[in-house]
Structure 1
Amino acid sequence: MKRDLATLRKKLHLFSGLVLATFILGHFGNLFAGLVSVEAMEAVRQPLHLIWRSWPGTILLYGALFGHFAMALDSLYRRQTLRMPPREALKILFGLSLPFLLVAHVVGTRLEYTLSGFSMDYPRILRILWSNNFDTYKQSFALLAAWSHGCLGIWFWLRGKAWFDRYALALYSAAILVPVIALIGFAVSARSLDPAVQSLRWFEEGRSDPATLAALRQAIYIGLLLAIGTVLTLRAWPSRGRIRITYPDGRVVPVTAGFSVLEASRSAGIPHLSICGGRGRCSTCRVRITSGLHGQPDATDAESATLRRIRAPANVRLACQLRPAKDLTIAPVLGADSMGLKSGPSSEEAAGRERRITVLFCDLRDFTQLAQKQLPFDTVFLLNRYFETIGEAVESSGGVIDKFIGDGVLALFGLNTTVEEASAQALAATVRISKGIALLNRSFSSELEKPLRIAMGMHAGPAIIGHIGYGKATALTAVGDTINAASRLEGFAKEYDAEIAVSADVVRYAGLTLEGHERHHITIRGRTGTLETLIIPKATDIAASLPATEAQAV
């Protein structure tokens, strides 16, 4: 029942918004005609009035208006926190302010027509609006607020569509040009009226009593304020139960029952990705429920569709859609605060020197094919989990990440140690990486058609360490024959369907023998002679051969 209600609420919100957007677009069409003449505006107004002033049109328009406002209040009431991205805040602000801006215009046109049968034509409307600067600015702002609210709503609705990027520029251009042209038409048509009567305000015979219209305006203003005030009061009323949400770092966020996990994160200032704005149209906010799954509300249709598409296990839910009914413990799958890297050595220690280092190249095999079958946001998520795994393995072994190249990683060892120690660290890092990839495969076995496979190449030798690049793109990196050789060995590992292709130099520097593994003498382009290379099918096979200090660490 709750799932059906949530789905119905979304559909009604969208439908009412599209009805209002259609009405506003027609209104702007009226103003476009003002570039021609006031008579042209009247000609466009007539068919529009036949539609919107008929009983079906009236019920549809004002039902959509009041329904959209009521659902905006409901959305405001159900929010745990008023912290939100700027676009969402602007959408809500425009939506709540719009009725206040339109009251005078609606009362002076539609309600007066209902009470007295008097129909305002455009010459009268333009004279009234243009005779007072406040009315002119208020009406202009109302048009911009209505249009901005509609554009933001449509943007939140369409941005996840596959075709949106192809037409984004045209849509953005229309979003800017339509209100600009409409306001120009408004100004041109108003200035074309006879200046002698532009400032006149009169109530012709047969019109409603001005006091009655003023009383109606005041009553509507009070009703709107009471509605918003009631919602804000109910939000603060401590009558509903409290739910405790526990995060991986031990933080516990108490929230009022009925609010979403995403809102809980935002209220506590915990970074939590939500690309679609919390509408269940992407999976970037998903969380893994580690405790308290039983007894939680069922997923809505929209949430279920997204979870099925990514083949999520039963304990994964969308944070924007899950409104806990009891305490639970969660772990955000895509952490907004784990996208970066830990700091490496200072530039003063490493820049502008020639050192003997150990270089590790690693790359995912067949990742392009895998990415084609994933949602774009999920591909980003998977890459970041992979990069996180590599980064933690490298840094915990004593190395630093030089750069990410597509789904490949270049890591350096020995910036502040001997090449012998660096080689042992690099070999230990490969064991950690192999274990980390195996853990990723277990964690996402239901979402991956086949497990992730890694290929690594390692070589040790001299390299130039320095800051290379231009402007903000400058970064500490290494160049030289050693880096080229490690890159070639990574490709060699793929050719032999192995996890590691490591040069004999690395093995010798680390003090290992690694007998029993396949050996080859390969030629490196641009390098004289051959490079003796060991092929190791699984990195974990060398764990027992590592020096005692490194073996204990892995």
Structure 2
Amino acid sequence: MTSVRGKPAPDSGSSEIHLRTREIRLFTGLVLGAFLLTHFSNHALGLVSVEAMEDGRSWFNRLWRNPAGTVLLYGSILVHFLLALLALYRRRTLRMPWREAAQLILGVSLPFLLVGHVVGTRIEWALTGHDSGYPEVVRNLWVLNPGIGARQSVALLIAWLHGCLGVYFWLRPKSWFPRSALLLYTGAVLVPVLALLGFAEAGREIADAPGRFGTPVPPSSDILPAAGPLLYAAFGGLIAATLAARFIRSVPLWSRRVRVFYPNDQVATVPLGFSVLEASRSAGIPHISVCGGRGRCSTCRVRVLDGHQRQPPPTPQERGTLARIKAGPNVRLACQFRPTHDVSVVPILSTGRNGVTALVRGGRAQGQEQEIAVLFCDLRGFTSLAERRLPFDTVFILNRYFEAVGQAVEDAGGYIDKFIGDGVLALFGLKASPQQAARQALDAALRIKAALVHLNEEYASEFEQPLTIAMGLHAGPAIVGQMGYGQATSLTAVGDTINAASRLEGLAKELDVELVISEDLASRAGLDLSDRDRRIVQIRGRAAPLGSWIIPRADGLGR
């Protein structure tokens, strides 16, 4: 397939290269993060003593100053910086959310902030053999040159913040991230705080006893004074060359433009090669992108209304993400879709009212894939019961039933998603492990059955026949998030797991039993049902059948 003017359209080979560069950049970033973590941990030993810092430094040097550690560390620094410049070059527009801009600016500024420290420690050691220990370094930065020490502390904090932003963008789309976010944030704050406190404590210890640690004189070197300016010039030249290459590339591209049409008569006219997300940003059109345009999430997806046929096909990364969410044929990821002809699109996730504000808040407002357990329950024969009663009586009975079910679900640790007629959908595992969620759902089913028995006894004189119930239990992945419009927005879940649980509740009705439990939930709950009737259930829209256990009476399971 070719694009306009005979240029080849992006193929799978180039997209694979892009994916590999992201993976390499992530790996090198993690190496640098590990270096900072061990470096800060060494600083934090200053809270014990300067001697403890020196003892820790011996282990630190064994890790990072051996040949393999040296190649890994400095190779990662160089490769990470070059890949950052490559990412800067590939950006079609410099308009971006503030978090992405902060990560980019901090990363580009780091070499200039750290050159002095690297020259005074690692390069000096490599050229002269003089190994600057903590007493000498802390004396120079705390006692003799506190201004340089303050600048160095700021540089290390910027390096840590840059790394934390990178890890945040990497982990944010993960389903488990919200459950671990508080712990990760706490660690991200404590590590630099303890490091600075350790450095300050070591500085006070050396200032109070200036003669205790000696004053070694490092050997001189004719090359060392020139190392700093050379590194500044090299990094500055690389950045300037990248910006110049961006400008040279953009000149011919502006002569070949495509138009992206949005709802409400909005149009973005951009050079050929821009992604739809970049087109939105360049035109100032709000467009959601949780992962920062890296193709790791699907929040930027758009539905192509017109002009789909002549566009380049999705890249492997885009196809994988779209397949994961089971997107339709006309759905594309805006961050990966680079139209070669005019195209009309509509963002699927709204940026109005609830859309942007909810996504900015983060957490479940964005919608996350999460392993949960689901309970569907429904009164059997309630329609015929309601037909023979006054509306007031029907409402009274329903409210008492809903109260009993709601109390049972909450006591078991679950969350009432919604009431549907005389049915109830409950979710478990929003703040628990999948195993615990399955046990909670099973406990809720038993509590509901017990509550219904009590309700039948309490109103026996009012019912011609006791109320009976059908329940379905299933566990698996679902998208959990704030959904709805205006005041009707609430936390809910959608996906195959919800549909399957509803189908199991319907099967319970068909078989005239109280409970049907999927094998997935029984396995997670550690429930042995091998002596029960097993059925294979076909779920509409689900490729694989679902193994399920038939439970005629829920209270027969016991607690």
TM-score bucket (shorter structure): 0.5 to 0.7
Is residue 112–residue 207 contact of structure 1 (8 Å, CA) maintained in 2? no
User: What's 1:484 paired with?
Assistant: none
User: What's 1:53 paired with?
Assistant: 65
Q: Distance in 2 between matches of 1:196 and 1:83?
A: 53
Match of 2:109 among 67, 85, 97: 97
Match of 2:231 among 212, 220, 225: 220
5 Å-filtered alignment, 1:41-80, equals 41-80=53-92
User: What's 1:331 paired with?
Assistant: 346
**Is 1:134 matched up with 2:147?**
yes
Match of 2:286 among 260, 271, 278: 271
User: What's 1:303 paired with?
Assistant: 318
**Is 1:84 matched up with 2:96?**
yes
* Aligned CA distance change for structure 1 residues 186 and 257 (closer, same or farther; 3 Å): farther
Match of 2:240 among 218, 222, 229: 229
Q: Which amino acid aligns with 1:151?
A: C
CA deviation map 1:205-243 (0-9, x unaligned): 53423xx32322111112222222222233333133433
Q: Distance in 1 between matches of 2:424 and 2:85?
A: 46
Is residue 128–residue 201 contact of structure 1 (8 Å, CA) maintained in 2? no
Q: Distance in 2 between matches of 1:61 and 1:321?
A: 32
- Rg comparison, structure with higher value: 1
Is residue 259–residue 323 contact of structure 1 (8 Å, CA) maintained in 2? yes
* Aligned CA distance change for structure 1 residues 19 and 225 (closer, same or farther; 3 Å): same
Q: Distance in 1 between matches of 2:104 and 2:427?
A: 39
Is residue 364–residue 407 contact of structure 1 (8 Å, CA) maintained in 2? no
User: What's 2:176 paired with?
Assistant: 163
Computed over aligned residues only, the root mean square deviation of the Cα atoms, in angstroms, reads 3.5
User: Alpha-carbon deviation of 1:116?
Assistant: 2.2
Q: Distance in 1 between matches of 2:336 and 2:321?
A: 11
User: What's 1:151 paired with?
Assistant: 164
Is residue 139–residue 207 contact of structure 2 (8 Å, CA) maintained in 1? no
CA deviation map 1:460-493 (0-9, x unaligned): xxxxxxxxxxxxxxxxxxxxxxxxxxxxxxxxxx
User: What's 1:548 paired with?
Assistant: none
Q: Which amino acid aligns with 2:224?
A: L
User: Alpha-carbon deviation of 1:157?
Assistant: 1.2
Structure 1 gaps, min length 5: 341-361, 388-400, 409-443, 454-554
User: Alpha-carbon deviation of 1:374?
Assistant: 7.4
User: What's 2:269 paired with?
Assistant: 254
**Which range is displaced more, 269-278 or 74-83?**
74-83
**Is 1:2 matched up with 2:14?**
yes
User: Alpha-carbon deviation of 1:197?
Assistant: 5.0
* Aligned CA distance change for structure 1 residues 197 and 318 (closer, same or farther; 3 Å): same
User: What's 1:440 paired with?
Assistant: none
Normalised by the length of structure 1, the TM-score is 0.61
User: Alpha-carbon deviation of 1:86?
Assistant: 2.1
5 Å-filtered alignment, 1:538-549, equals none
Q: Distance in 2 between matches of 1:336 and 1:104?
A: 45
User: What's 1:312 paired with?
Assistant: 327
Is residue 298–residue 322 contact of structure 2 (8 Å, CA) maintained in 1? yes
Q: Distance in 2 between matches of 1:187 and 1:363?
A: 59
CA deviation map 1:53-109 (0-9, x unaligned): 222111111111111111211222222333322222221121111111110111111
**What is the DSSP-based 3-state SS (H/G/I as helix, E as strand, rest coil) of the residue aligned with 1:277?**
coil
Match of 1:321 among 336, 348, 359: 336
Q: Distance in 1 between matches of 2:257 and 2:28?
A: 33
Q: Distance in 2 between matches of 1:338 and 1:204?
A: 65
Match of 2:203 among 155, 167, 190: 190
**What is the DSSP-based 3-state SS (H/G/I as helix, E as strand, rest coil) of the residue aligned with 1:321?**
coil
Match of 2:299 among 269, 284, 292: 284
User: What's 2:123 paired with?
Assistant: 111
Is residue 130–residue 218 contact of structure 2 (8 Å, CA) maintained in 1? no
**What is the DSSP-based 3-state SS (H/G/I as helix, E as strand, rest coil) of the residue aligned with 1:193?**
helix
User: Alpha-carbon deviation of 1:189?
Assistant: 0.7
5 Å-filtered alignment, 1:432-471, equals none
**What is the DSSP-based 3-state SS (H/G/I as helix, E as strand, rest coil) of the residue aligned with 2:344?**
strand
Is residue 243–residue 256 contact of structure 1 (8 Å, CA) maintained in 2? yes
Match of 1:176 among 189, 193, 208: 189
Q: Which amino acid aligns with 2:153?
A: S
Q: Distance in 2 between matches of 1:215 and 1:277?
A: 39
Q: Distance in 1 between matches of 2:339 and 2:498?
A: 31
User: Alpha-carbon deviation of 1:450?
Assistant: 7.5
Is residue 3–residue 298 contact of structure 1 (8 Å, CA) maintained in 2? no
User: Alpha-carbon deviation of 1:330?
Assistant: 1.6
**What is the DSSP-based 3-state SS (H/G/I as helix, E as strand, rest coil) of the residue aligned with 1:289?**
strand
Q: Distance in 2 between matches of 1:70 and 1:263?
A: 22
User: Alpha-carbon deviation of 1:202?
Assistant: 8.4
Q: Distance in 1 between matches of 2:260 and 2:337?
A: 12
Calculate percent identity across the aligned residue pairs.
46
User: Alpha-carbon deviation of 1:204?
Assistant: 3.0
Is residue 100–residue 221 contact of structure 1 (8 Å, CA) maintained in 2? yes
Is residue 260–residue 320 contact of structure 1 (8 Å, CA) maintained in 2? yes
Q: Distance in 1 between matches of 2:214 and 2:257?
A: 57
* Aligned CA distance change for structure 1 residues 172 and 405 (closer, same or farther; 3 Å): closer
Q: Distance in 2 between matches of 1:228 and 1:364?
A: 59
User: Alpha-carbon deviation of 1:41?
Assistant: 1.1
User: Alpha-carbon deviation of 1:21?
Assistant: 0.3
Is residue 118–residue 207 contact of structure 1 (8 Å, CA) maintained in 2? no
Q: Distance in 1 between matches of 2:236 and 2:424?
A: 55
User: What's 1:404 paired with?
Assistant: 488
Q: Which amino acid aligns with 2:226?
A: A
Q: Which amino acid aligns with 1:54?
A: N
Q: Which amino acid aligns with 1:190?
A: G
**What is the DSSP-based 3-state SS (H/G/I as helix, E as strand, rest coil) of the residue aligned with 1:34?**
helix
Q: Distance in 2 between matches of 1:95 and 1:141?
A: 14
Is residue 127–residue 201 contact of structure 1 (8 Å, CA) maintained in 2? no
Q: Which runs of 4+ in 1 moved over 4 A?
A: 194-198, 200-203, 362-375, 405-408, 446-451
User: Alpha-carbon deviation of 1:128?
Assistant: 1.8
Match of 2:479 among 362, 376, 381: 376
CA deviation map 1:145-189 (0-9, x unaligned): 011111111111112222222221111111111111100101111
* Aligned CA distance change for structure 1 residues 68 and 296 (closer, same or farther; 3 Å): farther
Q: Distance in 1 between matches of 2:140 and 2:491?
A: 64
**What is the DSSP-based 3-state SS (H/G/I as helix, E as strand, rest coil) of the residue aligned with 2:252?**
coil
User: Alpha-carbon deviation of 1:301?
Assistant: 3.8
Q: Which amino acid aligns with 2:488?
A: F
Is residue 363–residue 407 contact of structure 1 (8 Å, CA) maintained in 2? no
Is residue 260–residue 267 contact of structure 2 (8 Å, CA) maintained in 1? yes
User: Alpha-carbon deviation of 1:369?
Assistant: 8.6
Is residue 312–residue 447 contact of structure 1 (8 Å, CA) maintained in 2? no
Is residue 419–residue 425 contact of structure 2 (8 Å, CA) maintained in 1? no
Q: Distance in 1 between matches of 2:285 and 2:85?
A: 25
**What is the DSSP-based 3-state SS (H/G/I as helix, E as strand, rest coil) of the residue aligned with 1:329?**
strand
